[in-house]
Each structure stands twice: as structure tokens, then as C-alpha cells.
Structure 1
Amino acid sequence: MGQYQRLLLIADRNLHPSPAMTRAEALARTCGAVLHVRVFADPVPVVHVWEEKTDDASYQRYLRRYRRWVADEEQRLGDLGIEATVEVVFTTHPLPDILRAVEDLKPDLLIKDVTLEPALKRVFITPLDCHLLRECAVPVHLVNQARYGVPHRVVAAVDPFDPATQISGLNDTIIRSASAMALQCDAPLHLLYAYDLSAAFNGDAPLVGGGWSVDFVEELRQALHMAFVSLADRYGVPAERRHFIMGLPVPVISEFVEQYQADVVVMGTVHRVGIDRLIGSNTERALYSVPGSILAVR
């Protein structure tokens, strides 16, 4: 039995082939999973807005395009040996409809292409992808690119130093999810900890001569490394696949993905409130800078 039994693909609303579709089809074939394909498209355009009327011929052409696509996709997926359902949902607010589909279908994984939004727009409007990271009840696989159908290299990005991840057991969830995908795809699992020492010096860190004690910094680094090693030992990750790298998480992860040609980075999301929610998480920021794909788990 495969790691995933039901997959939900949020297909491109323009009905174009996409990296997420490639990944979803490959995982469905590898796992023998049922693939639910959903397109959340704009409602039929209103021709005369002031009269709230539509041109019937245009309306029928609009519907025929989607009906033809649904039939073609069902035939194509069936020819690939994939058990699938394909539907189009017309909506102006896709988020609640997507969350409703998740609730109804109960997929093991939601798969969607990353929607690249301009930085200025993201300041004022939270993108759909970020809403899904925060609100979706199941793991969300957001695909930037898919060099291969099934991943060839999976990375679990952990943080043993963050109290939130320790209390919630998020690190364990990240590793288990990454291990499950790696096992299903016959891919090596790498463990990555990008540690940023600057956070430790906010507050009551010891100061020596207006700076930080070299001994203190080294002791802290060793403590973080021991926590990382302990986590890796617990899950049997080989030494050559353990990566303990100093730096800000998102740049380190992005560079690591480039260097190792990693296909999927598994990261965690935690509930945030106040200013933290406005700023966003490392996982949200990684969407727009990590060249591979993100698998976000709660």
C-alpha cells in the first residue's frame, strides 16, 4: 500500500499543463492513489455589467471549453492507469471552496503550483498559497518546478532550537512526512538545519567587552549541533546526509536546493498571531526563493 491513498490537485485555472500536474500524476501512479483534479475558475464573464446580462453564445462557448477539458483529462488520466475525478468549480473566492474540497475529499496531500505574486502586492494582499499554508488541514505540496515526476532527493528542514517546534513535535512531523515521501519515491532523505545564532543574542545573552564571548558562541553552536545530531540519530539519517549550516534559514535552504538539486523541501508551519502573522513564516518566504518545491506540514 502506498504512502498516499488520495491526492487533491488544484490544477492551473487556465487549463495548461504545469509542474504540479506532472508531480501529482507521477505520485498517483507510484502510490496507486486516487487523484482528484479540481480547477477553480472564474465564473462566466458578464458582458453587460450594468444590466447583469450575459451573451448566451459566449456563455455556451465558455462552458464548452471547460466541459471538453474535463472529458479530455478523464480520458488521458484513465489511459495512464490513474483512477481520477475531474471537476471545474466556478468561483470568485477559491480559498473557501478549496478548503471545502479538502474537508469533503480528505486527501492525504494537496498539490498546487506556486502562484508567483509581485512583492508589492503581497504587502497588501495575502496570496492564496499563504492562506493555504496557514489554513489547510492537510499537508500542502506547492510546486515551483518538477525536474522529475517523482522526487529524486527529499530534504527535511528542521529547527531543534525553536521552542515552538519542540513543544508541538513539529520536527518529528517534518521528518516523518519527508521520510514517507522519500520511501515512496525511492529517494534519499537529507536532514538540514540552518541555524541562525543572532536570535540567541536578543535579550540576556552574556556580553564581553561590548561583544559576545567567543567561548559562549562556540558552546551555543555545539549545543545546537548536539540537538541536531540527536534528532538525526533518532531517525537513522546517515552522517553524509546531515547538513548543519550557519545562516538565515531561507537563503541557506535556497542555496542548498541549488547545490544538491533537491526536488522537495519539507518544512513546517505553526499558528502565528499578531505581527508574526503579518510578517509570515520562513515557509511562506521560501515559496518565492526556493527553486524546487515545498511540502508544508502543520
Structure 2
Amino acid sequence: MSQYQRLLLIVDPTLRHSSALTHAAALAKASGASLHIAALVPSFKWLRLLEEGDRELARKRYLQDHRDWLEVQAGNLRDRRIEVTVEVVWADDMKQDILDHVTELQPDLLIKQIQYESVLNRAFFTPLDWHLLRHCPIPVFLVGGSGFVLPRKVVAAVEVSASESVDNELNERIIKQACSLAMQCNAQLHLLYACDISAAFLADMGGLTLADLTMALRCDLERSFLKLASQFAVPSNRRHFIEGNPVTALSKFANDHHMDVIVMGRVQSHRVDKLLGSTTEHILYQVPCCVLAV
């Protein structure tokens, strides 16, 4: 049985050529899941300038135009034997309205197009996608790039430590989610760890040099990574232990190896991280592919 029984797609009806719809439809077809498409329309302040009767008529006409378009899209999907339901509603609080839909519908996966924000905007406002990564209780599939509609290559990005890691449970969820997605889409599964050893956290000890400690830590991390890869029977040619800043290293890997989806973990942000954003949050603006956050 597929891990996906019900998918929720959030669309901006003003972006009618968004690739999120085609990605969601392909995944629903491959997994046999039902698909609910919610078009959330932000309220327009200029409508307040109209007389009450004209304002209500303008609102109805605007929503009906989007409903007509969405029903056409749904009809095309039903012709492909995909179970689809749709709705078009006003959204007074986009962030909360999406989370309310998740709570009400209880889908297995939330799908949405990545909404790119400038560095300046991110400095003053928390992007909508970051908000969903932090607060959505289910996996979030954010569509980006221009790769295949059904992924051909899926990479699970994990975090390991030199000892038994508190991240083991999350790593297992990441890999299982990536495995299921790869199996349903007949895609290759890769496993990756971006190793970032900062000399700032190392010091000479017991006569060992800084280089000795760095090499020892690297070997321990690689050993833990290979153990994890063996546990899930990832072929040796699809295990990638790379060095460097996670955002930079993952972005380069995804681009060089033509990845279609990166499956990553997401943790609750605290203190300064809440302002600067996590690795997963910054990845959205760097990689040329989709991101599935677990």
C-alpha cells in the first residue's frame, strides 16, 4: 500500500502555469492517492473602496472566474482517472488558513509551489514557506526547479554524528520517506551527508594536532554514515559523503547530479535560528529541484 492516501495541493489561482499542479497530479496518479486542490485567494484591499453591493458582486465574479478555471483542470485530471476535489476560497490569513486546511483534511502530504523571496524580504519578514516548514504537522513537498514531473532521482540528506545520534529517529523517517517516494516513482535513491567540520569547535588535546583531531572526527562521521547507508541497503555508488557547508554542498550536489527531489529533515527553530532560518529553509532558494521536508 502507498504511504500516500490523500494529498493536499495549495495553489495560487493567479499563477495558472504553476508546475505544482502537474507534480501533484503525477504523484497522485503514481500513488493512487486522492488529490484535494485548494485555491486560496488573498483578500484585496481595493475592494473596500467599492460600494457594498458592487464589492460583493466583484468578489463573487472574481472567485467564479478562478472556480471555472480550476474545474477545467480538475476535469482533465479526472479524465486520467485521478480522484480530485477542488475549492476556491478567500484567505484572510494565508499561513493560518493553510494550516487549518491541513488540520481539517488530515492529508498525508502538503504540496505547494516554492514562493521565492528576496534576501531583503527574508530579513524583515518570515516567508510563507518557512512558516509552513516550522509549523506544518505533516511532510511538506515544495515544488521548485524544472526537472521531471515524476522524480527520476531522489536524494535523502541526513545528519550523522560520531556517536549514537539523537537524530537517528529523524534520519530513519527521512530515509523511509525517500525510499517510499523513489519506489512509487521508480526513481533512483541516493543518500547524502554534508560534513562541515568547523575548526572553531576543535582544540589541541593529548598531544594531537588540530589536523589529527579533524581527520579522526571525519573518519568517525564517515563510519557512522556508512553504517546508516548499510542499514537501509543503499548501494555503494549512491552513497555520498561530501565536505562543506550544508547549503552550498547540497546545492552543488543537486545541480551536478541532476537531482529531482531532496528529502530533508526539519526541526523547530529557536532563538537566532528563527531569524536566520535553518538549512532546509535556505535550501529552498538554492537548489534547482523540489524539496520534501519531513
- TM-score normalised by L of structure 1: 0.91
| SS of match in other structure, 2:166 | helix
The offset of 1:175, in angstroms, is 0.7
Aligned pair in 2 of structure 1 residues 258, 235: CA closer, same or farther (>3 Å)? same
Worse overlay, 255-264 or 158-167: 158-167
Instruction: Identify which of 220, 236, 239 aligns with 2:236.
Output: 239
2:271 pairs with 1:279? no
Aligned to 1:229: 226
Distance in 1 (CA, whole Å) between partners of 2:162 and 2:269 is 14
Q: Quick check: 2:42–2:92 contact (8 Å CA) kept in 1?
A: yes
Structure 2 length normalisation: TM-score? 0.92
Contact 1:139 1:295 in 2 (8 A): yes
Per the TM alignment, residue 164 of structure 1 is displaced from its structure 2 partner at its CA by 11
Equivalent positions of 1:98-247 (< 5 A) are: 98-161=98-161, 166-167=166-167, 169-198=169-198, 201-203=199-201, 205-206=203-204, 212-247=209-244
After superposition, the C-alpha distances for 1:253-277 in whole angstroms (9 at most, x for unaligned) are: 1111111110000011112211122
Q: Could you say if the C-alpha distance between residues 122 and 92 of structure 1 is closer, same or farther in structure 2, counting changes exceeding 3 Å?
A: same
User: Compared with structure 1, are the counterparts of its residues 165 and 70 closer, same or farther at alpha carbon in structure 2 (3 Å cutoff)?
Assistant: farther
SS of match in other structure, 2:13: coil
Please list the CA deviations of residues 92-115 of structure 1 after superposition, one character each: whole Å capped at 9, or x if unmatched: 211111111111111111111000
CA 1:70/1:162 → structure 2, altered by over 3 Å: closer, same or farther?
farther
The aligned counterpart of 1:76 is 76
How large is the RMSD of aligned CA atoms in angstroms?
2.3
Corresponding position: 1:49 with 2:49: yes
What amino acid maps onto 1:288 in structure 2? Y
Identity of aligned residues (%): 44
Letter of the structure 2 residue corresponding to residue 276 of structure 1: D
Distance 1:212 1:19, change over 3 A: farther
Contact between 1:153 and 1:262, CA under 8 Å: does it hold in 2?
yes
d(CA) in 2 for partners of 1:139, 1:105: 14
Structure 1: distance between partners of 2:189 and 2:225: 15
Is 144-153 or 262-271 further displaced after alignment? Answer: 144-153
State the distance in 2 between where 1:204 and 1:259 align: 31
CA shift, 1:38, in A, is 0.6
For structure 1, the 5+ residue unaligned runs are none
Distance 1:193 1:47, change over 3 A: closer
For the residue of structure 1 that corresponds to 2:155, the secondary structure is strand
1:32 is displaced (CA, Å) by: 1.0
Aligned residues: 294
1:52-67 paired onto structure 2 within 5 Å = 54-55=54-55, 58-67=58-67
Q: Give the whole-Å Cα distance in 1 for the aligned partners of 2:131 and 2:87.
A: 22
- Judge conservation of contact 1:48–1:54 (CA < 8 Å) in 2: no
| Per-residue deviation, residues 55-89 of structure 1 (Å, max 9, x unmatched) | 45534431321231232123122112110111012
Q: Which amino acid aligns with 1:39?
A: A
Q: Which amino acid aligns with 2:204?
A: P
Letter in 1 for 2:119: A
For 2:112 and 2:51, how far apart are their aligned partners in 1? 36
173 and 60 in structure 1: CA distance in 2 versus 1, 3 angstrom threshold: closer
Residue pair 1:47, 1:53 contacting (<8 A) in 2 also? no
Q: 1:8 to 1:163 in 2, by over 3 A?
A: farther
1:40 matched residue in structure 2: 40
Does structure 2 conserve the Cα–Cα contact (< 8 Å) formed by 1:37 and 1:87?
Answer: yes
